[in-house]
Amino acid sequence: MAKKKFIDRCIKDDSGNVVIGQSPNLPLKVAIAGFVVGLVFDTGRMGTAVDAITFGAFFTWAWLEVFEGVNYLRRVYGFLVLAALVASKVF
């Protein structure tokens, strides 16, 4: 098998399909749901719990993308989200 070009590694999976986006996996579904629920419960214990769950789900999704993303572009997506999450807690 011929060596894949860099651009192919950026946008294609192992089967040669172009993968820019895909349907959300479970951590991303939980994160999106948590974000929406967080718009309603933004204070108090419920708000804190929803924020923690949302952060954890986004962190899990980003971590999985960085280390198991199907192509380099997906891994960059994960890294950028992971960096933003860490920065949001540090700064």
Q: Tell me what pLDDT residue 71 has.
A: 92
Range of the domain at 77: 26-90
pLDDT tier at 3, thresholds 50, 70, 90: confident
70: DSSP letter: S
Q: Note whether residue 74 is domain-resident.
A: yes
CA–CA separation, 59 vs 33, rounded Å? Answer: 14
Domain count, the chain: 1
1 has a pLDDT exceeding 70: no
Question: What SS3 state is found at 18?
Answer: strand
Mean pLDDT, the chain, as a whole number?
A: 92
Q: Note whether residue 49 is domain-resident.
A: yes
One-character DSSP codes across 20-66: S-----HHHHHHHHHHHHHHH--SHHHHHHHHHHHHHHHHHHHHHHH
Query: Which pTM was predicted?
Result: 0.86
